[in-house]
Amino acid sequence: MTTFDMLLAAREQRGAGFLPYIDPDRLDKADLAKTAAVCEEQGADAILIGGSFLLSTNFDRMVQEVKQAVDVPVVIFPGDTSQIAPAADAILFLSLISGRNPELLIGQHIKAAPLLKAHGIEPISTGYVLVDSGQQTTTEYISNTRPLPRNKPEIAMAHALAAEYLGMQCVYLDAGSGPAKMVPEEMVLAVSEYTSVPLIVGGGIRDPEAARKRVEMGASFIVIGSVFEDRGWDAGFIGGFADAVHQSRG
């Protein structure tokens, strides 16, 4: 069974998938494996690891430590081709379809593809859509692209449908790292009803109720990271998000 199949199975069994996101720059390196293990114990369906802009070195070693600590899939959420680690189960093969930067539409992918094949890392083809969050995020700055307007769900719908027609396996609506505002519920609903591929939603979700609402609007997977970085990777707090995501369609 592929990693993507495992994620789809988790969605089928639990209503939606809970994906904690670990940025190595924002966590003590000695705590990476322990944090991942706590996330798994509290109901994570996979661990995402990576960052828009990493200062950390030895990324492969860090991924390997996380992989050794958990049984759930470890999936890279990459900022660029430097974040390719053979120890990972899979990588979100992101095409930044909300922007018009050719490097992030196809350029980085050409460089990454031979490495993924050589290392046996499963690519999960993902149409990545950056949504305006009310302030400039790291993702927006580093990618040199403009996010989609948050009050124009029809634009997000068209981008997501194009990704589906291009054969991408899923679509990711993201407000970026530490945003002022989340992806609007109305946009999640519009995109989920207009397309048939799984929908990932993340960026700025700071309480379980907000996570639950986005699953109720049609999100297949919820990514949570910034709030854990800010408030600490407390087991009970993480578990509250897992329960909200998994029970939203129960």
Q: What is the pLDDT of residues 20-30, one digit of tens each?
A: 999 999 999 89
Consecutive H or E run containing 92: strand 90-96
Please give the pLDDT value at position 29. 87
d(CA 226, CA 203): 8
Report all structural domains of the chain as residue ranges with CATH numbers, in order of start.
Answer: 3-247 (3.20.20.390)
What confidence tier does 248 reach under pLDDT thresholds 50, 70, 90? low
Question: pLDDT tens-digit profile of 56-66?
Answer: 889 999 999 99
Mean pLDDT computed over 239-247: 96
What confidence tier does 249 reach under pLDDT thresholds 50, 70, 90? low
d(CA 200, CA 218): 9
Query: Helix and strand tally (H, E) in the chain?
Result: 11, 8
User: Do strands 221-224 and 74-77 pair parallel, antiparallel, or not at all (unpaired)?
Assistant: unpaired
**Contacting residues for 46 by C-beta, under 8 A, at least 6 apart:** 3, 6, 7, 10, 17, 19, 72, 73, 74, 75
User: Do strands 47-50 and 122-130 pair parallel, antiparallel, or not at all (unpaired)?
Assistant: unpaired
